[in-house]
Structure 1
Amino acid sequence: MPHIDSPQEIVKEIRITRCPVPTAASLALDLGLLDQELEKSGCTAAELTRDTRQALPDAHFNHTLPFLVREGGNIPALWARSTGSDTRLIGLSWVDEYQAILTLPDSDLQEPGDLRGRRIGIPRHRYLEIDFRAAQALRGFHNALSLANLTLDDVNITHLEAIREGRRDSWNTEIEALQRREIDAVFVKGATGLEVARTVGLKEVIELGFHPDPLVRVNNGVPRTVTVDTALTEQEHIVEQILTSLLRAADWSKDHPEDFIRVVTKETGASSEYVASAYRNISLRPALREDYLTALEAQSRFLFEHGFLPNPVNVWDWILPEPLAAAEQNIAKGVSLT
């Protein structure tokens, strides 16, 4: 990365945002690891969701804020890249999470093949720049139908107008429509999805999140992306330090499962018992593995083909591998360990 000779060009504060799901970023913030790393460059980190100076939450989706780091669902990250936001992909994480097609307990739906000709509920959050909740529901049904050699053309898509909701996943629109019998099946995911499935007493048509084929598990949260504003990559060592803190946090979580559940419970808003059951095969470590990238490429194609991306995204051209390689070396050498 190039050296920056002019002091006024050196960033003193980055902003960081993450989705309310298991992320290395949430752990790095909670443990103070991000601050420890950035302190070496005289830099600090501000959490985007806690910034009250102006309405900045949209940057979580459009990634237009300078010196922004984002870890979370891949749909907004791909959409931002597709619309022209100047970002680079610096890592991917893979956390298998509960994903299911649900129906009413007295429904005759038993397996994905039974969805043929049925009404599937797709929530439409039209106030969002990128309706990732509609996209993830459609992807979930696509994955389920593929297991029965069916496609989305074999079902009746029912669009459900959703009210404005917060950052955390909410399934109220879909569940209420299901209970009114306006639709036959819904998609849910994560700890909040598992919690609503159990507390409402709904029946699983199929659980997708732990299917043996990893491509069946691909959705907004699998794999999750770590992206940065390209301008931040021009700051010497900053991105490397960010990734070092994420690697340290991910490694720490393996030996502290109870603390991991505590942090994720706080992030998701779900009960700890559902957090403990909803996430498996947890690999919070940022990586740029070929299988992760292949999965993201498949997701990118799906989103473009179904109109969620205005332009195709070439995942392989998006990646910036050097900062992660440097961060991995730091961990291997113990440079950042205290």
Structure 2
Amino acid sequence: MSSKKTTVERISITRCPVPTASSVAFDRGFLQKELAKAGILASVLQDEKDAAMHGAHFDHSLPFLVREGGNIPALWARSTGRDTRLVALVWVDEYQTILALPDANISGPADLRGRRIGIPRHRYLEIDFRAAQALRGFHSALWLAGLTLDDVEPVDLEAPSAGRRDSWDTEIDALRRREVDAIFVKGATGLQAARTLDVREVADLGFHPDPLVRVNNGVPRAVTVDAELIEHSGVVERVLTALLRAADWAADHRGDLTRVIAAETGASPEFVETAYRNGSLRPALHENLLAALDAQRKFLFEHGFLAGDFNVREWVHAGPLAAAEKNYYEGVSNHD
């Protein structure tokens, strides 16, 4: 019914500072061109002058919003009752590890027993995804040694509201001051910190053979949309078509992809190449992706990060991706 009352003239796109098809699609103009065919303007949420709008990246409160990024805010927003739809998932393995000082006598996950683990607290955020992802990282590392979070001592590290939210300064400073014995880091910026500091990597989580060990905020990433967009025929399909095109382009242009990701993350290209060396930016909805996301939902709910529980598979709206894949790949084939 709402499609008869409103017209989509502009949609907002938001993405996390990590490898995403959205960032490539904007960089190459794929999103703008695809949506322009329907007379729709594509704008970047982070470019909005009204800073109050930026919070929609976490709570999905902006009408006609498309979000690609970490799964924790997406799951949290849905748990609060926000009317969104999960239209795709993306699996890009990323560097994830636990760091300790060289003289801490922590050489592996088993040595974390009884130790103090640093949990950054960004209490000014509605959903403290940094605390959640740190706990998830430690949970995975401890599981490898047959331990649980009950076997360690979490230490809250109060993070300031100023500065980049993906900075590891709060955790690193606490480690250096020996207020904690171990911290969790991830991504290109985490790898850059690990390689440039005198620290020891305690566990390889991001490239572990068991995919469930790799699950965290960034694995898998979620593509979610304001539910009202679904009612406007073809709009979400166009967005996903642009993301598919961007993913294929990225696979054939690794050097340019590194440039885009380095600009997004603020990390040096050499760390980008190592931190995100596996995976594809292609959106999908395979069962293994949904199972991984469901495992994340369960963890977050059990540890109090979700407002309520819900069924991940009932959140999925698969139609737009199926249509986008059909039309996009038929178009590619026709051009061959």
TM-score, normalization by structure 2: 0.97
Distance 1:198 1:54, change over 3 A: closer
| Kept after mapping to 2: 8 A contact 1:112/1:148 | yes
2:70 aligned residue: 73
C-alpha distance in 2 between matches for 1:239 and 1:157: 42
| Kept after mapping to 2: 8 A contact 1:20/1:167 | no
Task: Indicate whether 1:314 and 2:311 are aligned.
Answer: yes
Distance 1:193 1:54, change over 3 A: closer
**Which amino acid in the other structure matches residue 189 of structure 1?**
K
- Between stretches 283-292 and 158-167, larger displacement belongs to 158-167
2:256 aligned residue (251, 259, 269): 259
Distance 1:236 1:91, change over 3 A: same
C-alpha distance in 2 between matches for 1:201 and 1:195: 12
Listed one character per residue, the Cα deviations across residues 259-285 of structure 1 (whole Å, up to 9, x for unaligned) are: 000000000000111001001222111
Distance 1:120 1:319, change over 3 A: same
Distance 1:53 1:160, change over 3 A: closer
Quote the offset at 1:78 in angstroms: 0.1
Pairwise CA RMSD: 1.5
Task: Indicate whether 1:164 and 2:150 are aligned.
Answer: no
C-alpha distance in 1 between matches for 2:198 and 2:17: 24
C-alpha distance in 2 between matches for 1:143 and 1:337: 46
1:242 aligned residue: 239
Distance 1:3 1:244, change over 3 A: farther
2:17 aligned residue: 20
C-alpha distance in 2 between matches for 1:281 and 1:275: 11
C-alpha distance in 2 between matches for 1:234 and 1:217: 35
C-alpha distance in 2 between matches for 1:165 and 1:121: 19
Quote the offset at 1:310 in angstroms: 1.3
1:49 aligned residue: 46
Task: Indicate whether 1:284 and 2:281 are aligned.
Answer: yes
1:62 aligned residue (54, 59, 64): 59
| Kept after mapping to 1: 8 A contact 2:11/2:43 | yes
| Kept after mapping to 2: 8 A contact 1:23/1:71 | yes
Quote the offset at 1:13 in angstroms: 0.1
| Kept after mapping to 2: 8 A contact 1:190/1:279 | yes
1:192 aligned residue: 189
Distance 1:234 1:321, change over 3 A: same
Distance 1:234 1:57, change over 3 A: same
1:223 aligned residue (214, 220, 227): 220
C-alpha distance in 2 between matches for 1:29 and 1:337: 25
| Unaligned runs of at least 5 residues, structure 2 | none
1:113 aligned residue: 110
1:201 aligned residue: 198
1:325 aligned residue (315, 322, 327): 322
1:300 aligned residue: 297
* Greater fraction of residues in helix: 2
Quote the offset at 1:313 in angstroms: 2.5
Paired-residue identity, %: 65
| Unaligned runs of at least 5 residues, structure 1 | none
2:142 aligned residue: 145
- Between stretches 324-333 and 184-193, larger displacement belongs to 324-333
**Which amino acid in the other structure matches residue 27 of structure 2?**
D
Quote the offset at 1:168 in angstroms: 4.9
**Which amino acid in the other structure matches residue 28 of structure 1?**
A
C-alpha distance in 2 between matches for 1:160 and 1:47: 32
**Which amino acid in the other structure matches residue 226 of structure 1?**
V
C-alpha distance in 1 between matches for 2:190 and 2:161: 18
Quote the offset at 1:56 in angstroms: 0.8
C-alpha distance in 1 between matches for 2:247 and 2:334: 13
1:210 aligned residue: 207
**Which amino acid in the other structure matches residue 131 of structure 2?**
A
C-alpha distance in 2 between matches for 1:281 and 1:121: 28
**Which amino acid in the other structure matches residue 26 of structure 1?**
S
Listed one character per residue, the Cα deviations across residues 56-80 of structure 1 (whole Å, up to 9, x for unaligned) are: 1110000010000000000000000
Task: Indicate whether 1:37 and 2:38 are aligned.
Answer: no
Listed one character per residue, the Cα deviations across residues 1-54 of structure 1 (whole Å, up to 9, x for unaligned) are: x895x4x62210000100000000000000000011101111011100000035
Listed one character per residue, the Cα deviations across residues 178-202 of structure 1 (whole Å, up to 9, x for unaligned) are: 0001110000000000000111121
